[in-house]
Amino acid sequence: MAKQLIKGNEAVVKGAILAGCRFYFGYPITPASEVAEAAAYYLPKVGGTFIQAESEVAAINMVYGAASADVRAMTASSSPGISLKMEGLSYCAGAELPFVLVDIMRAGPGLGNIAPEQGDYNQIIKGGGHGNYKVVCLAPNSAQEMCDLTILAFDLADKYRIPAVLLADGFIGQMEEPVEFPPARTSLPDKPWAIHSDADDEKRLITSINLEPELLEKHNLHLQEKYAEITRNEIRFEDYQTADAELVIIAYGVVSRIVQTTIDDMRAAGRKVGMMRPISLWPFPSAHIVELGDQVKQFLVVELSDGQMVDDVRLALNGKRPVHLHNRMGGMVPSPEEVQERALKILEG
């Protein structure tokens, strides 16, 4: 398709269709409603299915069924709706079902408001559902990446039989930008484990329940081995002006766009500041942060939460370098000048 001026929320759906997704189950919620609206409009045009479920709980369980049946399926919501999906997400992770969940984060806690925030980091990365599970989590910072990382999320989900989450703040979902779409997938990976409505189906059991403790422990150990393999192979990040930096700012989503402006302004004034943007929030680029710590004197984490990603940065560095936090909450977003003021204070001691 030709380049289009399009919202991030709509780019997600077009990317999903190009990736071979044909099933969407969801319930509208601001600021993610355009995802459901676009899915309802575009999926029937390619022979796909859109169902507005009666609730978020119903939607995630519909995804469970579709993902069991050898199809690419997705759902989307915003923070309170994601909370309702957590039990089903744990079930899907336990059953090793590949699908894509899109979370367009809004401010909280509680009902909060519809302004952008990044307060769902812990819920997604640390496991908002029960049990010992992980999900692949990718964090776009543009409408283009809303498309590209959705396609990647489907590929990683199928490759590792794992749910994959696209975690974006409300600004990135609502932002309208030019997007260049890649060619549509002409073939998808085989899934011999899935339900195919054939004679071998009676040999296939897709479930997240293991009543025998020994079997459940064995299954958990298998999952942990898979998560370790993903950590070895699928870490993604972007460095910006870090080669000679004295201070590296770590940010994702819309905050990384703000920080890039800050760095450009500070570089023009002769200040050696850089940015590391995690693209995969899980697996988290901890090893790369440690490498940066060999050359960088200090770090500043900027995020729209009470300070959630900063815990993973501090854990990676283990006291090797000072890690500062600049955060906003409730839908408030820092300006480039605000971030620059904080960075200057750190550089000047």
- pTM of the model as a whole: 0.97
310/316 Cα distance (integer angstroms): 10
pLDDT of residue 201: 79
- Token pair recorded at residue 83: 């909370």
Which residue stretches of the chain have pLDDT < 50? none
| Domain shared by 150 and 280, yes or no | no
Q: What is the DSSP letter of 148?
A: H
| Domain shared by 209 and 324, yes or no | no
pLDDT of residue 2: 76
Indicate the number of domains in the chain. Answer: 2
Given a contact cutoff of 8 angstroms between Cβ atoms, the answer to whether 94 and 208 are in contact is yes
What is the residue range of 329's domain? 238-347
Q: Is 318 left (phi over 0), alpha (psi -120 to 50) or beta?
A: left
pLDDT of residue 202: 77
| Domain shared by 261 and 125, yes or no | no
* Boundary-marking domain end, from 233, 259, 277: 233
| Domain shared by 124 and 190, yes or no | yes
| Domain shared by 332 and 305, yes or no | yes
| Domain shared by 73 and 212, yes or no | yes
* Boundary-marking domain end, from 233, 265, 299: 233
| Domain shared by 134 and 24, yes or no | yes
* Boundary-marking domain end, from 233, 251, 286: 233
Q: What is the CATH number of the domain that holds 37?
A: 3.40.50.970
Q: What is the CATH number of the domain that holds 292?
A: 3.40.50.920
CA 72 to chain centre: 17
